[in-house]
Structure 1
């Protein structure tokens, strides 16, 4: 599986000897339907162009924005575009996705989309989040593949604290520092869930039982292997989530 590292220009410069394929978090939508770019190193980048919709204005001229994207693809020899759209779909974004889908297909460039935009594309690869907290991970991926066709893994690092019984299936996100602190404080035995493909442990606090699900380098690699076994060819992980695991994920696998 081809695993991309989603990283800003500053993060890319800090990689040292590692040379992972990069999805460049350096672009956003500006006023007048322009494509705004952070400063990139002078060398040709290759990899993928990532566009964020954070604080983006309404896209009134999707044709113009699509042409700006094409120019940037040619300038840096990018293989395609990942739309890192976190907001709920709006009519202007839906039109943009539909037009960008057509333009990129004509130029034989890839397009990666969140599931909410799947109905507005004919050829895009849909990003499937791997931070699964219930059910069976393999079956989940197989279901997504059946639903969307082409999928890529959005390899999110799962670190979640649930209070049992977790009837809603919703937990509280925790960071690596909190996770390490809890493991040291309670000395809980850690187990591996073959169904979820993640690690877990429990602890007691104020009369409540807490259930922690978390990923490490090995569980994330195992998720990649499962995806690969059902035909998924592309995965993405975000630099700030895996900075301590870069050698594991992008070394020799």
Structure 2
């Protein structure tokens, strides 16, 4: 069969094995499997039954909006074309490979190549401009990086125009939005963690404020009663002034 990629910039065709695709991808298996009732599978079986080996007579599956190079890399891996598989990939291209793998649910089949592709970019995991690492870690199941970044992004989260984003630089302030392909459940979990952390901070500040507002007890450790009172009042005044600035 032939996979025909059509985008606004390119038209590329790839001669592939439907068997290899179905072995590696649940999406292709559902679409093209021998027991599938999808129109694509029916057309593929009809093409095979004709017995023709002409390229023009092969079943053609049209796909759209993938990056051509990334799709080619994924197909080379699925067909064990080691001579065509790159050892290193630019970060932007690696993101495109991850998009294709996520779309067709075939990331597992990329092992061990994915580890090598990511290794050259591992030192950039926490650097501004590489927030896409979170999506890579999710697709290729890098639990260490995923845990590191979800924790970091939860702490640095802000909501810009009701959208979840993270502060990547403070001077000057720069924010980055999450990759649009990242599952919403992950974004929501980070947002919930951020909200909970903020609520915990507010609760702790309120408890501290109330403890100094209580004249029946003293926080200062001085043995002199007047010093204890003055110390507590000084701290309480500072807290009160600081909280007023937040409003």
**TM-score between the two structures when normalised by the length of structure 2:** 0.23
Higher relative contact order structure (alpha carbons within 8 Å, sequence separation ≥ 6):
1
Q: What is the TM-score when the length of structure 1 is the normalising length?
A: 0.23
**Higher-Rg member (1/2):** 2
User: Of Structure 1 and Structure 2, which has the larger fraction of its residues in helix?
Assistant: 2
Whichever structure has more strand as a proportion of its residues is 1
